Amino acid sequence: MFDKFPKTRPRLPREIEVIYTMHYKSNREGQTKASFLAQRMESWLHNQVAKDLGNLHGLRKTTLEVGAGTLNQLQYELDVGHYDIVEPFRDLYKESPFLERVRNVYSDISEVPGNFLYDRITSVATFEHICNLPEVVARCGLFLADKGVMRVAIPSEGTFLWTLGWKMTTGLEFKIKYGLDYGLLMKYEHVNTAKEIQGVLEFFFEDIECKVFGLSKSISLYQFYTCRNPRRKKCLEYADQSKA
């Protein structure tokens, strides 16, 4: 099933590579008109991931966020417990005012101590970027506490509506500003489709629920998954295999 993983990210053209970091951070922080609009739309993703916190009533829960980026998810999260993150790009979060709320920072999920367990594992618009996605999801399953939940929000990558959406907003703005093809950047960034991500989640978890921002998975902009009861034997086998 996972023959195509780990995937190899395509090489960026030199003219995009030199502006990549600056553009990525600008896009994540909503500094341009198109990215600001995208951020407003993406608030649906953040709200879905944080929705479970409204029912905690003072309970303390541990959270691991995979792909924390600029820490913008913390705008939506109550300060209810220990919050750890996995994020390889330090430049994205190093000046964030939310950093003081983070207990531990890991550059890779393999750095998380094996005895750590989390009540919540979250991810917002990250799984489409991860070349070794099955390994990451397998490890998430092992780090999830009993009765814990993994909450994953993703764009509907690979669908017509999602492609049309970015072409008419950030893609058009990128072309006007730099004279470059945003599609090349998207191929570099989004190595996994929404359908592939769903398949990986279903392989490692017994119970999965999905909500969409749209009419259906194939006619939507975003998708949100809650994942419970990891198949721990499969998770352990795949995680061990990845070490070899």
| Confidence at residue 224, expressed as pLDDT on a 0 to 100 scale | 98
Tell me which of 50-59, 84-93, 99-108, 187-196 is least confident: 50-59
Instruction: Look at residue 95 and tell me if it is in a domain.
Output: yes
Residue 59 has pLDDT above 60, yes or no: yes
Instruction: Look at residue 8 and tell me if it is in a domain.
Output: no
Mean pLDDT of the chain: 91
Q: Which of 185, 222, 230, 171 is nearest to 206 (CA)?
A: 230
Top pLDDT among 18 and 234 is at 234
- For a pLDDT cut of 70, what percent of the chain falls above it? 91
Phi-psi region of 71 (alpha: psi -120 to 50; beta: other; left: phi over 0): left
| Confidence at residue 19, expressed as pLDDT on a 0 to 100 scale | 86
Q: Which amino acid is at 101?
A: R
| Confidence at residue 202, expressed as pLDDT on a 0 to 100 scale | 98
Instruction: Look at residue 110 and tell me if it is in a domain.
Output: yes
Q: What's the predicted TM-score (pTM) here?
A: 0.91
Tell me the CA end-to-end span of the chain in Å, nearest whole number: 19
Instruction: Look at residue 7 and tell me if it is in a domain.
Output: no
Instruction: Look at residue 117 and tell me if it is in a domain.
Output: yes
d(CA 50, CA 75): 10
d(CA 6, CA 135): 9
- Work out the pLDDT band at 9, boundaries 50, 70, 90: very high
Instruction: Look at residue 4 and tell me if it is in a domain.
Output: no
Residue 226 has pLDDT above 80, yes or no: yes
Instruction: Look at residue 72 and tell me if it is in a domain.
Output: yes
Q: How far is CA 89 from CA 94, 104, 155, 235, in A?
A: 9, 15, 21, 26
**Residues of the domain holding 123:** 14-243
| Confidence at residue 47, expressed as pLDDT on a 0 to 100 scale | 95
Average pLDDT over residues 56-73: 86
- Work out the pLDDT band at 170, boundaries 50, 70, 90: confident
DSSP string, the chain: --TT-S--PPPPPHHHHTTHHHHHHHHHTT-SHHHHHHHHHHHHHHHHHHGGGGG-TT----EEEES-TTSGGGGTS---S-EEEE-S-HHHHTT-TTGGG-S-EESSGGGS-TT--EEEEEEES-GGG-TTHHHHHHHHHHHEEEEEEEEEEEE-TTSHHHHHHHHHTHHHHHHHHHS--HHHHHHHH--S-HHHHHHHHHHHEEEEEEEEEESSSSSEEEEEEEEEEE-HHHHHHHHHHHH-
Residue 153 has pLDDT above 90, yes or no: yes
The token pair that represents 96 in the structure block: 């964030």
Residue 238 has pLDDT above 70, yes or no: yes
Instruction: For residue 6, say if its preceding peptide bond is cis, omega within 30 degrees of 0.
Output: yes
Can you give the CATH number for the domain in which 45 is found? 3.40.50.150
Q: Which amino acid is at 218?
A: S
Residue 244 has pLDDT above 70, yes or no: no
Q: What is the number of domains present in the chain?
A: 1
- Work out the pLDDT band at 22, boundaries 50, 70, 90: confident
Residue 54 has pLDDT above 90, yes or no: no
Instruction: Look at residue 127 and tell me if it is in a domain.
Output: yes
| Confidence at residue 148, expressed as pLDDT on a 0 to 100 scale | 95
- Work out the pLDDT band at 71, boundaries 50, 70, 90: very high
Residue 57 has pLDDT above 60, yes or no: no
